[in-house]
Chains A and B, each alone.
Chain A
Amino acid sequence: MSEALINLFYLLAAVLFIFGLKGMTHPRTAVRGNLLGALGMLIAIVVTLLDRRIVSFEVIVAGFVVGALAGAVMAYKAPMTAMPQVVAIFNGFGGGASALAVGAALEEALKGGFVEEISVQFTVAAAMSGLIGAVSFTGSGIAFGKLQGLIAEKPVLLPGRHAMNALLLMVCLALSGWLVAQPDSSLAFWALCGFAALLGIMLVIPIGGADMPVVIALLNSYSGLAAAGHGWVLNNSVLIIAGSLVGAAGFILTAIMSKAMNRSLPNIIFAGVGAEVSTAGAADEVYANVKSTSPEEVAMMLDVARRVIVVPGYGMAVAQAQYAIRDLCDLLAERGVEVEFAIHPVAGRMPGHMNVLLAEAQIPYDALKDLEEINPTFAQADVVLVVGANDVVNPLAREADPSIPIAGMPILDVDYARSVVIVKRSLSPGFAGIPNPLFAADNALMLFGDAEEVARDLLAALKEV
């Protein structure tokens, strides 16, 4: 197949990718969009397999089989609550694959195969791919470990870490410079990958669980850029287009999420949230007047309510309470109560994570309202059920005090409702590590327990009323 024809097919694949991502603008078109993207990928792969330089397919097929099995098993066996770490690990694979593939291309070029001379474009792109790919690989691995609970979730702040990271980056850049200036050995490249891998670990380990959504979005962007760099090395148009698309998409999503938390991106990446002492007040003082309640009492409140808003949080995900909540809301709806869900942009471990969990429980997506839509309506709500959410409903965020980790972050104004019932296992803090004055508010009641069990108890109690 001539190169022009191959590139035409690559263009077709790229167009399909664009349509694929565009499909994500609405649930109706999203499934089809994803399938179009997959089709584009298939076309790109098949067309490449027709390349005359490929002498044998055994290794390729072996790689396909191993990878496909691993991918499919992880995709289907992981519970929905583990989606963030699944995306993290696939992302890491992609970044690592780019770095390795570029290294292999470099080795081939050094042996005199496939390129006439190793151009500056080649080496610069190779260095970029190796650096970004390796950072993405280990960074994603750490993100996976933290989300899976294999590594401490709290930020691990090593002394002098900023200096260390700056030093590592300098080393990487120096090695890149060496590779470009003297492209006669691959040593610089592999050393670069090694140091970049270390940098990846150092960059992600100080970041706490609450900031993981932003980190994953950013790492996603990095893998895209690594793939684009890979494309620059091989002069492959579909790699460049698709890689840049994903690089840009990931970056925009990162920006959106940072804005939702009202923190600047450098702040999230370079600061270790939750490890500094803040003036948020000692928990004992804040919680002196906390009132707790029982499922029966809450059921009575729900019985006379006309508008109920549910605020899901990570606690609901952990307890896998989404089905119980759905049953509870179905019962309320049967009784003519208007039920809506308030989804904070950073609730859960990934953007839109709550939406996915609630959709899994078959709660219709038009009952899910985002922050701007639902905030003005809390004043007309009779009962707000906060299920496993904490920081996103913490009124301390309204303070301008910079020592409060969540200061300035837009929150859900649940305290404006008539009554707030907070379902939580204990008074322990959320990821920001600070107490939540909402729990002690006059119109707030704590319903202690596991979200799933509490929801079931509420359901039973409501049936009795």
Chain B
Amino acid sequence: MEVFVAVLTIFVLSLFVGFEIIQKVPPLLHTPLMSGANAISGITLVGTLVTSGAQLTTFTTILGFIAVAMATANVVGGFLVTHRMLEMFRQDGGRRK
């Protein structure tokens, strides 16, 4: 029960942090924001590692492998594509206006 409440506490506080941060992001950056937040949701990768590494049964290892691959694509692709978008906003540093 204590574990549940501790976990619930973290969950609720994180929701508030999430709400607060996003309020300040300008519409200009909403697309990279979606992409960046999506990359972070790839954190689920961390949860797939033990399953695929512990090799308890063949079935769980296969599931683990697919999950690791999918989550890695989410993470790697997500951060790369966000970076690619954000780089474009940097280049105009020296231009007119």
Contacts and interface: CB of A to CB of B under 8 A. Distances in A.
Interface of A: 17-18, 20-22, 24-27, 30-31, 33-35, 37-38, 41, 44-45, 48-49, 51, 53-57, 59-60, 62-64, 66-68, 70-72, 74-76, 78, 80, 83, 86-87, 90-91, 93-94, 96-98, 100-105, 107-108, 111, 113-114, 121, 216-217, 220, 223-224, 226-228, 230-250, 252-253, 256, 330, 333, 343, 345, 350-353, 355-356, 359-360, 362-368, 370
Interface of B: 3-4, 7, 10-11, 14-19, 21-57, 59-61, 63-92, 95-97
Given A101-B44, A243-B41, A41 B60 contact: no
A55 B7 CA distance: 28
A98 to B, nearest CB: 5
A21 B89 contact: no
A20 B36 contact: yes
A87 B11 CA distance: 25
A68 B22 contact: no
Contacts of B95: 362, 364
Name A's interface SS. helix
A243 B45 CA distance: 12
B86 A34 contact: yes
Given A93-B73, A242-B40, A101 B51 contact: yes
A152 to B, nearest CB: 24
Listed residue (A24, A76, A239, A248) with the most chain B CB atoms within 10 angstroms of its CB: A24
A344 B18 CA distance: 25
Contacts of A113: 54, 56
Given A67-B70, A94-B74, A244-B14, A249 B86 contact: no
Given A59-B61, A253-B30, A240 B74 contact: no
Contacts of B46: 44-45, 48, 236, 238-239
A25 B26 CA distance: 6
Nearest to A140: B38
Contacts of B69: 62-64, 66-67, 70
